[in-house]
Structure 1
Amino acid sequence: MTTTRRGRRAALTAADLPIRVPLVHGETTASYLARTAAGNGLPLPRLLRSLHGARSVGRLPLEIHPGMQEVCLDAEAVQLLGVLVERDPEQVRRALPGLCEGHPLPASPVRVTTWPDDYGVRPLRACPLCAEEDVWLVADGSRWRPCGCGRRWQCGDDGGFVLDTTPVPDIGRALQRHREINHRFGAAGDALVVDAHQVTLWWWVSKGADVGRDVWREREGALGAPRVRRRRLAPAVVYPEAVRLAGAMLEWEHRRAHGTAASSRHWLADVAALLGAPGLAEGHHTDPLEYWLEAHGLTQRPEGRTAAERHWNLLPALHHRPAERGPFRATSCLRWVYGLPLTSVTRVCPYCEGRAPSCRWVPAADCPANPSPASPRGATEG
């Protein structure tokens, strides 16, 4: 390879990248570039310098970890990347969310940024059964997500990890039911599963509810506890009960839309019977369900051209329509954060001082008192 007079190597060409690694939809830009460089035996900084073209190269870190950092490219750098990997730049943009229109352009052609250390922001480690090793997915507000194969649970917490859920077939069955709900009710169905998941995680943390205690312990043992920390296992462990609870929530929403909603007391009794938890019918550990009923309380007949639109328009404003389809893409109206205290406020919203339902536990980006509210994705969702 020739060098310039300054001793730097010449820019790469497509001939230097004979191995085209597959594009993975939803992958972070840093992850794709790291796999491209590694597959062709090149240091990642070398590849990044080539994306500057003839423009000056700023300082780049010697090491880049796709699980902690992202690479931002301007439009010209994306074009150069397409030439190097011999792919249509639009194809690359469609696969890598960080390159889509609407994202702010970096101040330099190539810039390396660090993901904020917030829940739902750090990327998810992808399932190695369905993608290559060391693939990282854009979280877009999701802290976890079951892989489509039903055998792995992808998570962005604790630096990112993948949980093998094969020993617990109920998790795969829950994913199938989750898909059926999404297919029938659209994004509204996913939002209710996410709500139900927040409720079941609340019960797991509180330890006092008689929902799933024995079966959750059995699943934790099958998934590796105590070798794997139970806190890591809980989001996957409670998933089957969350999907079952979502079915009851869908029934409540159906009645609410048609003006035939039962009393909350009767509905809680139905939930108690469904989950085999008689304590719920007696008013024990119903706090998360009471918060949910508060948000989903008023009877209304939603508008919309399609059934999916009507289902979505029935939801309270605390829900935000997801950009992508699939499990755990929607936001929850229950904004408590798994890993933070249930009954105390860790930070107070400067706009509503914690009075708005969105900010009951932590400040939310979509606080109605905020003069410039934004989507809550990646801000407070659990």
Structure 2
Amino acid sequence: MIHTFKFSEQTQFDLNTITDFNNRCFSIRGNHRQYDAFRFVDNPFASETFDYLYGVEKDGEYIAQMLTMPAPLSLKNTIIPAFWGQDYIVLENYRGEGIGKNLAPFYLGKDYYIAVGFSPKSAVIHQKMGAKKIGYLDFYQKWGSSLHQAKWLLQRLLKISPKEIGDYTFPDTIGHFKRIKKIEDLHLPHLNWNSNTVETLRDKTYFQWRFFYQPNRYFVYQWKDTKDQNATYFVGKPYFYKGVNWLRVVDYRFDIQKKEHFSAILKAAEKLRKKLHLYGILISSSLNVTREELEEQKFLQTKHEVVLTTYPFQHKETNEAHNHFFISFADSDMDMHTNKGEFNFEDKTIKNTM
């Protein structure tokens, strides 16, 4: 008999079960122990009851799951609980039995589910079950120059290994921005940068967990001249892509009425790229105002990912870009692993056994 459950409502299965299952189903990512602990134990927005984790068992065997990671939204300086859908999978031997469809009402019924990166079929199923389109997240890239593209081809031809990601030294200042090394130095007097835009939460608690969990994995830059409003900022890191190292702008926030601040972010990113001798820039966009600037600056769109949620979004569903929803690579699990599948905060001095 098939039984669908919340982890908070049973004692047979626990986080060890999830880690073993993830190791089996997502072997490309390596051992999941530290990754799962980061998302569901060390996560400051997570409850200890695991009432946001969902599983399916048949005759005592754990055969399917949907994991949702707590990470709030914010609007008009109010925190909105939200849960990012991740690691949704049914063992191959049990597919075609409607298990995933029967699991959906469990996680879609919790306020508020949100996810990005659906297959076309999965997006349709989730929308039929009640999830709404809140917007899109677009991925963009831009080579440093045609010379960098030529060097990239030569490097691949000669099989030259790139510099180790951990060997880069980021400067203390770049353009209008200064590097932030301590949470105390972040200037965030409010929850939101924009009054009528749903934003994924970026308070000091989030920064400590997501970017300062271990040192020198992410590099936070904040606008030098801060006043009464939240400071414009961006978060960058070197990122292995297409066989060479790029600058990835993982996250950023700014007042969308000050478009020149986003231009300043792009200029600072380009200065960083040049200073560190990286091959190009990778960045995401969920806003029309950033999309327009990126395309004007000749960035190439490489992905167009729909974002679905059960949050009662106060705008009509549309395929057009808009300025009502602000997310980035830092949300969900889009920037949790290296190109080799290793968890970004992997501590190799800790044995990956349960």
Instruction: Give the TM-score normalised by structure 2.
Output: 0.27
> Does 1 or 2 have the higher relative contact order (CA < 8 Å, sep 6+)?
2
Q: Is the strand fraction higher in 1 or 2?
A: 2
Q: Is the helix fraction higher in 1 or 2?
A: 1
Instruction: Give the TM-score normalised by structure 1.
Output: 0.26
